[in-house]
C-alpha cells in the first residue's frame, strides 16, 4: 500500500495511534507485559466467545453485556497493527468530515479522535452500546483535551441530524443493516456525507461468526445503498467509502 504524507491534524496518530497503548494500560490498570499478551489473544478470545454465546436474536445484549474487555483488545490490536490502512481511513475522514459528526458504533475511539482534531468539525457524537468502550473513549477524550468536542452516548434520537455520519466495521454486525442505512439517510443533512464500510463475510475459517452474510440481506443492503446514495471518489486503497445523498 502506498503511504502518503501525513495530514497535519493526524500527526499524533502516526506517532502512537493517539497514544493508544498508554491509554489502554492506564484505563485497564495493566502492566505492559499483560497488555501485550491480551492484545495478542484478543481476536481469538472474542471468536471463541462468539461461537459459544452469539445469537442474532440477542445481538444487542451480546455486544453491550458479554464481550466486555475482549473487544478493547481485539480492536486495539487491529488499530496498532494496521497503521497505514487505518491512517488512510483517517485521511478520508479528514477530507470529507465537517460540521456535526456522528460516529456510530465508534469502538475504541480512533475515528472519533481523528475527526475531533479536524478544524472543520464542530462536534463529534460518539455512539456505542458497549459500556466499556464508552468509558474508554470518554477517558481518551479527557486525556487528549477533547472532552468539549467529543460527546459520548449510548443511543441517538431519531430526530437528530448530522452533517457527517461515520460507521466503520459495524453494519456486518447488525441483523438488518438496510434499516440502519435508511436511518442514516434520514439523519443526514441534504449536503452531508456518510463515510462507512462493511464486511459481510464470516471468514475463511469462521473466525467472524458474528458477521452477517445472508445473501438476501446483503442484496437488499446494496440495492438500498445504490438507490439512496451516490459514491464520492477517493484515492485511498481501503474498504471505507464516502457517499452523498442521491437525488
70-81 and 131-143 helices, crossing angle to 10°: 50
CA 214-220-225 angle, 5° bins? 125
Q: What is the pLDDT at residue 42? A: 66
Q: What is the pLDDT at residue 125? A: 98
Q: Please say whether the beta carbons of 140 and 77 come within 8 A.
A: no
- Its pTM stands at 0.90
3-state DSSP assignment of residue 53 = helix
Q: What is the pLDDT at residue 117? A: 97
* Domain annotation for the chain: domains and CATH numbers: 8-245 (3.40.50.150)
Q: Please say whether the beta carbons of 4 and 84 come within 8 A.
A: no
Distance CA(50)–CA(182), nearest Å, equals 28
Distance CA(163)–CA(199), nearest Å, equals 25
Distance CA(13)–CA(193), nearest Å, equals 23
Q: What is the pLDDT at residue 7? A: 75
Rounded mean pLDDT for each run of 10 residues along the chain, 247 residues in total: 60 92 95 91 62 59 61 86 94 98 97 97 96 94 97 95 97 96 97 97 89 96 97 97 90
In the block, which residue shows the cell 441534504? 190
Give strand pairing partners of 190. Answer: none
Please classify residue 46 by burial: count the beta carbons closer than 10 Å to its beta carbon, then call 0-12 exposed, 13-18 middle and 19+ buried.
buried
How is residue 71 written as a grid cell?
A: 473487544
Distance CA(203)–CA(236), nearest Å, equals 24
Amino acid at each position: 500500500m502506498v503511504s502518503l504524507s501525513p495530514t497535519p491534524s493526524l500527526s499524533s496518530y502516526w506517532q502512537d495511534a493517539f497514544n493508544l497503548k498508554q491509554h489502554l494500560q492506564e484505563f485497564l490498570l495493566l502492566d505492559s507485559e499483560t497488555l501485550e499478551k491480551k492484545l495478542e489473544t484478543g481476536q481469538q478470545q472474542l471468536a471463541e466467545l462468539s461461537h459459544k454465546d452469539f445469537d442474532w436474536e440477542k445481538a444487542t445484549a451480546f455486544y453491550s453485556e458479554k464481550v466486555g474487555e475482549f473487544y478493547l483488545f481485539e480492536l486495539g490490536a487491529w488499530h496498532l497493527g494496521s497503521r497505514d490502512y487505518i491512517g488512510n481511513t483517517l485521511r478520508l475522514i479528514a477530507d470529507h468530515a465537517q460540521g456535526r459528526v456522528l460516529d456510530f458504533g465508534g469502538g475504541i475511539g480512533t475515528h472519533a479522535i481523528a475527526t475531533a482534531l479536524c478544524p472543520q468539525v464542530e462536534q463529534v457524537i460518539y455512539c456505542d452500546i458497549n459500556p466499556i468502550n464508552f468509558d474508554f473513549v470518554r477517558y481518551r477524550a479527557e486525556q487528549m483535551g477533547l472532552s468539549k468536542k467529543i460527546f459520548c452516548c449510548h443511543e441517538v434520537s431519531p430526530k437528530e441530524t448530522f452533517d457527517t455520519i461515520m460507521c466503520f466495521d459495524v453494519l456486518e454486525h447488525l441483523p438488518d443493516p438496510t434499516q440502519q442505512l435508511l436511518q442514516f439517510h434520514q439523519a443526514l443533512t441534504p449536503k452531508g456525507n456518510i463515510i462507512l464500510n462493511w464486511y459481510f463475510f464470516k471468514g475463511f475459517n469462521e473466525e467472524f461468526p458474528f458477521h452477517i452474510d445472508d445473501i438476501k440481506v446483503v442484496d437488499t443492503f446494496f440495492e438500498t445503498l445504490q438507490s439512496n446514495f451516490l459514491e464520492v471518489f477517493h484515492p485511498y486503497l481501503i474498504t471505507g467509502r464516502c457517499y452523498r445523498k442521491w437525488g
